[in-house]
Amino acid sequence: MSDNSEDQKQSRETGGLSRRHVLGTSALAGVVGAGLAGGLVSVPSAQAASSSGPAPKDFVPPGQLDEYYGIWSGGQSGELRILGIPSMRELVRIPVFNTDFTIGWGITNESKRVLGANFPAGGDLHHPHMSMTHGRYDGRYIFVNDKACTRVARIRCDIMRTDKIINIPNTQSIHGLRVQREPRTGYVFCCGEFRVPHPNDGRDLNDPSKYFTVFTAIDGDTMKVAWQVLVDGNLDNTDADYDGKYVAATCYNSEGGVNLAGFMRDERDWVVIFDIKAIEAAVRKGQYKKIPGSDVPVVDGRHGSKLTMYVPVPKNPHGCNASPDGKYIVASGKLSPTVTVMSWKKIGEYFAGKLKNPRDIVVAEPEMGLGPLHTAFDGRGNAYTTLFIDSQIVKWNVEDAIKAYNGQKVNYIRQKLDVAYQPGHNHASMGETRDADGKWLISLNKFSKDRFLPVGPLHPDNDQLIDISGDQMKIVADGPVYCEPHDCNLIHRRVLMDKVKRVWSRNDPFFAETVALAKKHGVKLETDNKVIRQGKKVFVYMTSAAPTYGLEQFTVKKGDEVTITITNVDTIQDLTHGFCLANYGINMEISPQQTSSVTFIADKPGVHWFYCTFFCHALHLEMRSRMLVEA
């Protein structure tokens, strides 16, 4: 349905606005200008760039800060990444389900307490979402899912560290994850994607009639499962309303299939909608079961239940996105060229018994193009849907789509923009909140093909920055990223900047257990440098202050269980020390005012230097001491 000349016009526009091109032009102009003025030819400064024509919209001059935090899924890396937007510069990586040698995630005792003792090797992180209060980001937490190992984690925004990870029972593979918007988060909703028997202990292997999955609500404050809902079919993506009443999820396997043909058999699947208040009431009244092996209330939300409704929608829907005006929930069709627009108000009427047919809540089903996956919103009544197969983003108007559904002759499509290539999620700045500001859109493209220098058969993804502030979408920049970010949030810096700590506070709960153990040992972490032996257990306490550790050496015996606890007594921000123990595979970060600890068996006798791994001082290389292990 895209008009050819329109497409050509757009590709002309996007071609003319590539980042390389614009930067190249202004750099050249800067050089020419300097030459004409008789000055030295130098690297063009920010001023030179802006005085020689308009700076590209994503240009953030040296020393200036980005306007948005980009909270990026790290995909198969299991980590979360934070970018500055619009510059697309990566600021930090936050290990979540993965191990990380830079900060010692998976190595330090503090991280192991979060990960659990026998944590799996990695995770597949798809969906990061910040906690909200009254439909607005509140800067407390970011919640993320692990599709690989059926887990959900919470990241504390003040220190940007993972502080809780939990396993979700009675399902396999958590995919969709969203937060309760009203009154606050509150619940973290997550979708169990794979159906398996429960208990999954080998007794019912190849009897799919015994397979099922559940929808889960986690209490975001305690990180305990509050309740689960047994559903028909499976669950893919989810999103909640702005009133705290309902939450919806797409299902692509209504068939209960166990292979591709099975997942695709029927022409329709469904969106399942959960009545939060009714579920809470059922749990209060004890109308639930517990599934052997877990201790969480599971209510029955299968067909016929009053707690849920099943809305038939075209084949294998995927993305599930609530509009920031609080009115609609949009399911993207994937194998159907349509998206289905549903009204939260009508959902309320259905649950109140005023509407009989679940399809009565559908207010529009506009055609988009091939492979609609996810939809974003600009807060001005427009929606932006990715088309995976067409490699496009469609801008469309929601109210016009509703008019067209009601038989009026209106064109709801505003623009189709080619992206490079095969987009999955997109995300608009503040677009999943009441503060949707319609400035930037990110298209998270799965394929980059020829857009970057070749780096081997594994290509980076290509995340494109799109200016949506005007009538027409305009691509401003390409951003290569290590695959595979599925999703991101664009969060205005006003939400976070003042909440993020620059230096640890000494009473941070992140290392409180370590501090409590030191207290039991009678150790004052900020001043004491000593070794305490309890049988075969040895506790080594020391400070770090650039450029020395508090101990020049300590001695243990082969086979001892050694716990090294280091407190960085430096107070200057950015003055991080490290602790790397040679030939023991141990490294950890100790940032200003932080206490970090690690426990290991001293199984290799001899001299082992430990050294600082963060360049903290002119004498940083000299910041090293010895562990002597007696044979």
Which chain residues interact with Ca ion by CB under 5 A? 252, 269, 316
Q: Which does residue 577 bind out of ligand K7E, ligand CUA, Ca ion, none, counting CB within 5 to 8 angstroms by kind?
A: ligand CUA
The residue type of 580 is: C
Q: Tokens in use for 283?
A: 């749990």
The residue type of 597 is: S
Contacts of 26-29 with C-beta under 8 Å, sequence gap 24+, read: 26/52, 26/53, 26/55, 26/56, 29/53
For the chain, helix, strand, coil in percent to 5 are 15, 40, 45
Q: Shortest distance, CB of residue 36 to ligand CUA, whole angstroms? A: 47
Q: Shortest distance, CB of residue 629 to ligand CUA, whole angstroms? A: 23
Longest dimension (CA), the chain: 87
Of 189, 579, 614, 625, which lies in the binding site for ligand CUA, with binding defined by CB under 6 A?
A: 614
Considering beta carbons, is residue 136 or 626 the nearer one to ligand CUA? 626
Q: Are 272 and 248 in contact (CB under 8 A)?
A: yes
Q: Which does residue 76 bind out of Ca ion, ligand K7E, ligand CUA, none, counting CB within 5 to 8 angstroms by kind?
A: none
- State the Cα–Cα distance between residues 176 and 5, nearest whole angstrom: 38
Q: Which does residue 615 bind out of Ca ion, ligand K7E, ligand CUA, none, counting CB within 5 to 8 angstroms by kind?
A: ligand CUA
Q: Tokens in use for 481?
A: 């990223």
Considering beta carbons, is residue 73 or 316 the nearer one to Ca ion? 316
- State the Cα–Cα distance between residues 491 and 469, nearest whole angstrom: 16
Considering beta carbons, is residue 327 or 374 the nearer one to ligand K7E? 374
- State the Cα–Cα distance between residues 478 and 76, nearest whole angstrom: 21
Number of residues that bind ligand CUA (CB under 6 A): 10
Sheet holding 238-240, edge to edge: 238-240, 246-251, 268-275, 308-314
Q: Shortest distance, CB of residue 611 to ligand CUA, whole angstroms? A: 8
486 binds ligand K7E (CB under 6 A): yes
φ, ψ (nearest 5 deg) of residue 229: -120, 120
Q: Which does residue 227 bind out of ligand K7E, Ca ion, ligand CUA, none, counting CB within 5 to 8 angstroms by kind?
A: none
- State the Cα–Cα distance between residues 336 and 58, nearest whole angstrom: 35
Start-to-end C-alpha separation, the chain? 77
Of 577, 580, 586, 597, which lies in the binding site for ligand CUA, with binding defined by CB under 6 A?
A: 577
Q: Tokens in use for 184?
A: 């606050």
Q: Shortest distance, CB of residue 446 to ligand K7E, whole angstroms? A: 7
- State the Cα–Cα distance between residues 323 and 341, nearest whole angstrom: 10
Considering beta carbons, is residue 395 or 577 the nearer one to ligand CUA? 577
Q: Are 299 and 287 in contact (CB under 8 A)?
A: yes
587: nearest Cα among 118, 87, 210, 100: 100
Letter string b/e over residues 399-422, b meaning 16 or more CB atoms within 10 A of that residue's CB: bbbbebbeeeeeebbbbbbbbbbb
30: nearest Cα among 47, 14, 17, 15: 47
Considering beta carbons, is residue 137 or 614 the nearer one to ligand CUA? 614
Of 132, 341, 623, 627, which lies in the binding site for ligand CUA, with binding defined by CB under 6 A?
A: 623
569 binds ligand CUA (CB under 6 A): no
616 binds ligand CUA (CB under 6 A): yes
Q: Are 85 and 430 in contact (CB under 8 A)?
A: no
Sheet holding 586-590, edge to edge: 553-557, 624-630, 606-611, 577-581, 586-590
Q: Shortest distance, CB of residue 269 to Ca ion, whole angstroms? A: 4
- State the Cα–Cα distance between residues 538 and 562, nearest whole angstrom: 5
Q: Which does residue 316 bind out of Ca ion, ligand CUA, ligand K7E, none, counting CB within 5 to 8 angstroms by kind?
A: Ca ion
Candidate ranges 29-37, 274-282, 331-339, 608-616; the one touching ligand CUA (CB under 6 A): 608-616
Of 19, 81, 161, 175, which lies in the binding site for ligand K7E, with binding defined by CB under 6 A?
A: 175
Q: Which does residue 154 bind out of ligand K7E, Ca ion, ligand CUA, none, counting CB within 5 to 8 angstroms by kind?
A: none
Q: Which does residue 269 bind out of ligand CUA, ligand K7E, Ca ion, none, counting CB within 5 to 8 angstroms by kind?
A: Ca ion
Considering beta carbons, is residue 481 or 612 the nearer one to ligand CUA? 612
Of 452, 527, 615, 630, which lies in the binding site for ligand CUA, with binding defined by CB under 6 A?
A: 615
Considering beta carbons, is residue 114 or 616 the nearer one to ligand CUA? 616
Number of residues that bind ligand K7E (CB under 6 A): 11
Q: Are strands 488-492 and 474-481 parallel, antiparallel or unpaired?
A: unpaired
Cα 337 vs. chain centroid, distance in angstroms? 27
Q: Which does residue 612 bind out of ligand K7E, ligand CUA, Ca ion, none, counting CB within 5 to 8 angstroms by kind?
A: ligand CUA
Q: Shortest distance, CB of residue 518 to ligand CUA, whole angstroms? A: 21
Of 424, 431, 438, 460, which lies in the binding site for ligand K7E, with binding defined by CB under 6 A?
A: 424
Q: Shortest distance, CB of residue 41 to ligand K7E, whole angstroms? A: 46
Which residue ranges make up the site for ligand CUA (CB under 6 A)? 546-547, 577, 612, 614-617, 620, 623
Residues at the interface with ligand K7E (CB under 6 A): 126-127, 175, 237, 318, 373-374, 424-425, 486-487
